[in-house]
């Protein structure tokens, strides 16, 4: 199956060569890479079309005109994490407006941010509900929320359900520790008012997920297990592993 990895980070210039055989075996056709902006851009120039560079943008310091320079330098999208204010704060709207105009997608961290990297960050600023608010003002600003919102997974699923321009990946340590019964509860639905009806997994909701590893290569094992236990059809899996990320990136195929 074809795979776009929409969430990976720079871990050294030699990592691509060291892991290329493994990544090829996992089906990766493109990898969206962020952090270490200059290093990421250099890798993208070294591996054109394979490494897609995402610019780590400081929302609290950035100006809308900065996005033009970022795009002109070759970055294809933005990585947003740990702002001082909630993602949906109006002070950031001019950034989102310009990103929408430039058709630059964003990968947005949602949910718990480890104290090692996020000490001093107000965790409530990272709620997935922010993405619903942003989408209501900027319906063409394409967003992937990372980690299925971690502790706010219900909010993440609601965001995917209500917003055409919002998808979520299931990377990270929190989501991958939950049992199959929890995922069934999260994605199962009944017809309106039919609380006694036998629930079924809503493949429309599952079909708004995207694949992102956040670098641990065993994340693919989790996705495959998730697909098997929820009996996700091949056509829906194709959306999760490739088609949704392709739409998010604005690729022709």
Give Cα separations from 163 to 129, 143, 223 (angstroms): 11, 10, 23
pLDDT digits (tens, 9 = 90+) for 199-253: 999 999 999 999 999 989 999 999 999 999 999 999 999 999 999 999 999 997 6
Structure tokens at 72: 């002109």
* Residue labelled with tokens 């871990």: 11
Q: Cβ distance 4 to 23 under 8 Å?
A: no
Length of the chain: 253
Structure tokens at 242: 């490739």
pLDDT in tens, the chain (253 residues): 899 999 999 988 899 999 999 999 999 999 999 999 999 999 999 999 999 999 999 999 999 999 999 999 999 999 999 999 999 999 999 999 999 999 999 999 999 987 566 567 898 999 999 999 999 999 999 999 999 999 999 999 999 999 999 999 999 988 999 999 999 999 999 999 999 999 999 999 999 999 999 989 999 999 999 999 999 999 999 999 999 999 999 997 6
Distance CA(155)–CA(178), nearest Å, equals: 17
């Amino acid at each position: 199956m074809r795979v776009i990895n929409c969430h990976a980070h720079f871990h050294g210039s030699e990592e691509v060569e060291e892991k290329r055989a493994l990544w090829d075996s996992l089906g990766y056709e493109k990898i969206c890479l962020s952090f270490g902006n200059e290093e990421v851009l250099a890798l993208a120039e070294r591996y054109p079309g394979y490494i897609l560079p995402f610019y780590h943008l400081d929302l609290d310091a950035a100006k809308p005109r900065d996005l033009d320079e970022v795009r002109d330098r070759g970055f294809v999208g933005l990585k947003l994490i740990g702002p001082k204010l909630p993602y949906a704060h109006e002070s950031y709207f001019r950034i989102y407006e310009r990103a929408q105009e430039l058709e630059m997608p964003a990968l947005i961290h949602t949910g718990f941010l480890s104290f090692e990297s996020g000490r001093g960050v107000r965790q409530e600023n990272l709620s997935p509900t922010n993405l619903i608010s942003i989408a209501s003002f900027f319906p063409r600003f394409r967003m992937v929320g990372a980690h299925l919102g971690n502790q706010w997974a219900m909010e993440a699923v609601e965001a995917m359900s209500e917003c055409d321009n919002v998808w979520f990946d299931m990377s990270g340590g929190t989501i991958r520790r939950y049992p199959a019964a929890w995922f069934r509860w999260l994605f199962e639905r009944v017809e309106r008012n039919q609380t006694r009806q036998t629930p079924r997994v809503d493949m429309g909701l599952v079909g708004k997920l995207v694949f992102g590893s956040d670098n641990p290569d065993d994340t693919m094992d989790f996705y495959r297990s998730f697909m098997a236990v929820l009996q996700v059809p091949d056509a829906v899996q194709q959306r999760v592993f490739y088609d949704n990320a392709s739409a998010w990136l604005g690729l022709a195929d």
